[in-house]
Each structure stands twice: as structure tokens, then as C-alpha cells.
Amino acid sequence: MSAVDKKLVRNWVRQQSGPAKRAALPAVLLACVGTILAIGQAWCLAAIIDRVARDRAAPSLSPIGIFAVLSLFRAGCMIVQEQAAARAGIRARARLRRSVLDSVIGIGPALLRRQHSGEIAALLVDRIEVLDGYFARWLPASMSWVLLPCLSLAAIFWFNPRAALILAVCGALVPVAQAVFGIGAALASRNQFLAMVRLQSRFLDRIRGIATIVLANADGREAEALSRAADELRRRTMKILRVAFLSSAAIDIAMVVAIILIVLTQGHFLHRHETSGISVHATPDFTATLFALLLVPEFFAPLRGLALAYQDRAHAAGAAEAMHALEHGGDEGIVDGAGMAEAIGPVTVEGDAISYRWREDLPFVFEALDFTVAPGDILVVDGASGAGKSTLIELLLGFIHPVSGRILFNGRDTRAMRGREIARYLAWIGQRPVLFAGTLRENLLFARPDADDEALDAAVRAAAIDSFLPLLPKGLDTEIGEGGFGLSGGQAQRVAIARAFLKDAPLLLLDEPTAHLDPDTERDIIESLACLAEGRTVVLSSHSPAMRALGTQTLSLSHGAVTGGHP
Ligand SMILES: Nc1ncnc2c1ncn2[C@@H]1O[C@H](COP(=O)(O)OP(=O)(O)OP(=O)(O)O)[C@@H](O)[C@H]1O
């Protein structure tokens, strides 16, 4: 990562921390109350032991009663504190997931050209999930790791200044050790996450290509490669555990040293009794020393919490890096949301001197294309394989933008529209429609979830889905998609057509919709598509002569010229 990117990632973490810190404030306040209660508990316990050891008498009931009440309050405090921290984590993750999803949808399919789908899934699910630790543990710990030990230290200082000094010195060594181990933890955690994403992406790829692997007899080779990736993940996870162990051991050592020093410097209340072993020698320091010793774990607890949560911070930096990469390649040009509320009527689509190339080091796919498609027109995009037909359709979909020139919807530059607004104008049918795991009804309603039964029936009839509905075991409620009932290519294409009918958008983009169909099925599908195209603005790319016959004008990408006109 470049220095500029690192700075951007740091800024991102800071930005996220703002609202999350406010949400974590109740947890921090409750932690302060918990520490004050712990101080009271330590004092009661010291008083009880003092009375038993010094006076060899039964302890009085009042410190025991107070200790019990404080313990109850403290337990309640800890429960509420955990709940407050968890709530802050849930809110923050929901906000982040929403914003990442918005970015992913904003960039559209173009994202899949630069990032593996496994990586995107890992970001949306795993990376945001592990941020729970950042919001629920790291933020409260980082806000209170100085304050809470200071509260304990102040109480000890009041009764036992020498013990407070020892604790302050030992406590000060902990952040130094954490700084050393923290760098290692951040690096180890980042590497572990990268190894996990690599393993997930590999798995996803191989599952998708399972038929190719079996036919190529490559199962042994693939299993070996997967086992290597899994082993790398195991090694990196072990490294994280080692760093975490060392970091926790550093705190334990500081704590033990503090206890030994307090006992060595103030242990004169202990002496060996001639007959009964160790016994207590009454001194005025006894309660104060005991009080300090009892508070040592409390003093170190926030530092331990910070050390344990350090890994969560490292995860957050990794997530920030991934999210930054996502936002970095987003829709820079999409700015104004005007028009979102307006109803969408018929649309005239214009290409005004459009040029496009995929990357600066690649040649232009096409240059200075001009065309106008009015409502009722069907523009057939013509050109040999690789001439740029799908590229032009992607430009019209708004997933990519012209390098120069403009695409206008009713005279409005699409660059000035949000992705969601462009989406309202159009329906798109590609070569293979995506069927999600769910019922046929859910798949159809995907285009318009609020459609009523009447609209759904009309779309089902218009797309001739009713012709194969009786063959499905549960009609519209048959489970289809991944793991569900399989639909043929033609049936799946009908689902896409029905979705387009339901959406009722004025612009229809068709990218080789009959590419994989036999002539009979193609004829039926073309009939439905012709019906769908009526009165709409249509841009069509197809190698099929029957499909192209629907066109009212043709744009030849090899010559950059439009032929034909209104029918
Ligand atoms: N993501 C990409 N990155 C770089 N180049 C690309 C990318 N997608 C397409 N291209 C290139 O752009 C050119 C046009 O591709 P496109 O898919 O638009 O052609 P097409 O006319 O639709 O082809 P076909 O008829 O075979 O589907 C091709 O040279 C292709 O290699």
C-alpha cells in the first residue's frame, strides 16, 4: 500500500470511529462505575481479612454486607456493559454492511473484473463480522485503558503511595511491550486474513469448475493445492496465537513483578510464627498493603483488555484497506440524484460521440459513436465478435462510462445520474439469466417485489411461463435456482422476460438473449420479446438473423455508422 493509501485507510478508520465512539460511551462509563465498585470491594475484603488476621476475631457483618451488595452491583454493571458494547458493535456493523453493499451495487458487475467474487463475499461477510471486536471491544478498551488504571491507582495512592508508585512503574512498561508485540500482531493478522481470502476464493473457483476438474482428472492435483492453501492458513493462524500469547505473557510478568515488589517492600507485617507457620504481625500498614495487593489485578485488567483487543484493531485496518480499495474504484462521476422522484416515461437514448477503451494501455474499442434511439425504435448493434457490442450495452447500463462523449437519456447526461436512477430507466436481458435460490415466484418478483397477483399473472402469461408451469411440481412456488428445480435455457430466459414485463421500464437492453437456444425455442422467445419491445426504446445485440430482423435501425460498430430509421 502506498503512503497516500495508508493515510486514506487511517482516515477511514478515524471516520468510522467518530459515531462508534459515541455509541461506546455508555460501555466506558459503566466500566468506570465497575472499577469504582471494585475499589470498594477490595477495601471491604482488606478490612475483613485485617479483622480476622489481626484481632483473630470473627469479621463484623457490615463490611461483609457491603461487599455482597457491591458484588451484586458490579455483576449487574458488567452485564449491562457487555450488552451496551454488543449493541454498539451490531449498529456499527449494520451501518458498514449497508455502505459496502451500496458501493458494490454502485460499481456493478465491473467490480468482478478487478476483484474475485470470493474476496467481495469475504469483505461483506467475514471482514465486517470481525469488526464486531473493533467496535465492541477495541473502542471501549482504547477509550478507557488510561482512565480505569488511573482510578485504581488514585485509590491505592490515597492509602498506600509507595505501592501506587510500584504499580505505576510496572504499568508503564506494559504499553512499551504492547507497542513491540502490537506491530507483529497487526502484520500477522493481516497475513492471516489474506491467506483465508485466498483459500475461500480458491474453493469457490474450484466448486464452480467442478465439472472441468472431474473431466480433466485433476482432482488429486486440486486437492493438493487446496491442502497447501489450508496449511498456509494454519501457519499464519498459529503465528497470531504466538504473538497474542507473548503479549499476554508480558502483562502477566508485569503483574507478578508488581506483586513481588509490593510484598518485598511492605511485607514486614508477615513473619514466621515459631509453631504455626506464617502468621500476621499487626501493623497499621496491613490493610493498606492488602488493599493494594487486591487491586493489582484490577489495575492491569484494562491493559489486558487493550492487548486482547489489539488484534481487533488490526482486523479493522485490514477491513479498511479492503473497503478503501472498493470505494477507490467506484463511480467517481456519479453525482446528482435529481430525478429520482419523477415518474419514468418513454425515453429517447442518444450516444453523442462516445469513445471507450477498457484501460489506458489498450486501444479504443470504438471512437466517436453517434446514435439516437427513440421510443418504438429497435437499434441493432452490429459487428464481428470483439467489435464492442457488449461493451456498448454495459455503457448504456451505466456500469462503465465513456472515456469521451456522452450518453443521454431524454437529453440528460447519464454521468450526472446515480446508478439507482439509471436502473429505473431500463430492463436488461443477457445470454443467461441469473436465477437465485428461491421459489419461481420470488425470482419473478425480484424485478418488482410490490407487484400484485394480477400484475404477476399478466407477466407470466406475456412471457409464456404458463406454457411450462404445469410441469413444475408446485407451480409458481417450486424452488428453483442453486440447489432447486432446474429450468432449461429457454424457460430461464422466459423468467428474465417476465421480470422485464413486471419492471415495465421504458428502455430495454438485449445482449444476445437467444444465444444458447435451439431454433424452435428461439422463435417462441423472439415472439415474447417482440411483444415486450412494443412502444419501448430497444437496443439489441445479437448474431441471430431472426433476432436482428426485429430491428428498425442498425449501428455498425466497424464503421461507426447508423443505417435505417423509424419503421
Ligand atoms: N474487462 C475488459 N478488460 C479489457 N478488455 C475487455 C474487457 N471486456 C472486453 N474487453 C475487450 O473489448 C473488446 C470488445 O469486447 P466485447 O465483449 O464488447 O465484444 P463483443 O462485440 O460483444 O463480442 P462477442 O460478439 O464475441 O460477444 C474486445 O477486444 C475485448 O477483448
Report which of 374, 424, 395, 396 is spatially closest to residue 535, judged by C-alpha positions.
374
Residue reference for cell 478507557:
144
pLDDT in tens, 148-157: 999 999 999 9
pLDDT confidence tier of residue 339, bands split at 50, 70 and 90: very low
- Tell me which residue has its CA closest to atom 16 in ligand 1: 388
Give the model's pLDDT for residue 157: 92
Residue reference for cell 454495459:
394
Q: Please name the residues in contact with 226: beta carbons below 8 A apart, sequence gap of 6 or more.
A: 199, 202, 203, 206
Strand, coil or helix: what is 517? coil
Residue 434 Cα to ligand 1 midpoint, Å, equals 21
Q: What DSSP character marks residue 135? A: I
Radius of gyration of the chain (CA): 34
Residue 431 Cα to ligand 1 midpoint, Å, equals 15
Report which of 301, 298, 307 is spatially closest to residue 154, judged by C-alpha positions.
298
CA 100 to chain centre: 6
**Based on the number of CB atoms within 10 Å of its own CB, is 556 exposed (0-12), middle (13-18) or buried (19 or more)?**
middle
Answer yes or no: is pLDDT of 375 > 90.
yes
The full set of domain ranges for the chain reads 3-328, 349-564
Query: Given the CA of residue 391, which atom of ligand 1 is nearest to it?
Result: 18
Domains 3-328 and 349-564 share a fold: no
Pocket of ligand 1 (CB under 6 A): 113, 358, 365, 383, 385-391
Q: CA-CA distance, 561 to 1, in Å (whole number)?
A: 45
- Tell me which residue has its CA closest to atom 7 in ligand 1: 358
Asked whether 45 and 294 are in contact (CB, 8 A), the reply is: yes
State which of 115, 360, 365, 539 you would mutate to test the pocket of ligand 1, scoring each by most atoms of that ligand within 8 A of its C-beta. Answer: 365
Helices (H), 429-556: 440-445, 453-462, 489-503, 519-533, 545-548
pLDDT in tens, 287-313: 888 899 999 999 999 888 887 787 777
Answer yes or no: is pLDDT of 187 > 80.
no
CATH homologous superfamily of 3-328 equals ABC transporter type 1, transmembrane domain (1.20.1560.10)
What is the rounded end-to-end Cα distance, in angstroms, of the chain?
56
Query: Given the CA of residue 113, which atom of ligand 1 is nearest to it?
Result: 1
Asked whether 531 and 543 are in contact (CB, 8 A), the reply is: no
- Tell me which residue has its CA closest to atom 31 in ligand 1: 386
pLDDT in tens, 20-31: 777 778 888 989
- Tell me which residue has its CA closest to atom 1 in ligand 1: 113
pLDDT in tens, 485-523: 678 888 888 898 899 999 889 999 998 888 877 888 888
In the chain, the amino acid numbered 395 is L
In the chain, the amino acid numbered 4 is V
State which of 390, 514, 516 you would mutate to test the pocket of ligand 1, scoring each by most atoms of that ligand within 8 A of its C-beta. Answer: 390
This prediction's pTM? 0.61
Answer yes or no: is pLDDT of 328 > 70.
no
Q: To the nearest 5 percent, what fractions of the chain are helix, strand and coil? A: 65, 10, 25
CATH of 349-564, picked from 3.40.50.300, 1.10.20.10, 3.80.10.10, 3.20.20.140, is 3.40.50.300
Query: Given the CA of residue 541, which atom of ligand 1 is nearest to it?
Result: 22
- Tell me which residue has its CA closest to atom 26 in ligand 1: 385
In the chain, the amino acid numbered 95 is R
Q: Please name the residues in contact with 141: beta carbons below 8 A apart, sequence gap of 6 or more.
A: 302, 305, 306, 308, 309
When the pLDDT of each residue in the chain is averaged and rounded to a whole number, the result is 80
Give the model's pLDDT for residue 337: 40
Asked whether 156 and 297 are in contact (CB, 8 A), the reply is: no
Report which of 107, 100, 105, 102 is spatially closest to residue 124, judged by C-alpha positions.
100
Residue 143 Cα to ligand 1 midpoint, Å, equals 52
The number of beta carbons lying within 10 Å of the beta carbon of residue 241 is 11
Residue 387 Cα to ligand 1 midpoint, Å, equals 7
Report which of 480, 476, 475 is spatially closest to residue 438, judged by C-alpha positions.
480
pLDDT confidence tier of residue 315, bands split at 50, 70 and 90: confident
Residue 540 β-bridge partners: 380, 510
ipTM of the complex: 0.96
Strand, coil or helix: what is 182? helix
Residue 366 Cα to ligand 1 midpoint, Å, equals 11
**Based on the number of CB atoms within 10 Å of its own CB, is 2 exposed (0-12), middle (13-18) or buried (19 or more)?**
exposed
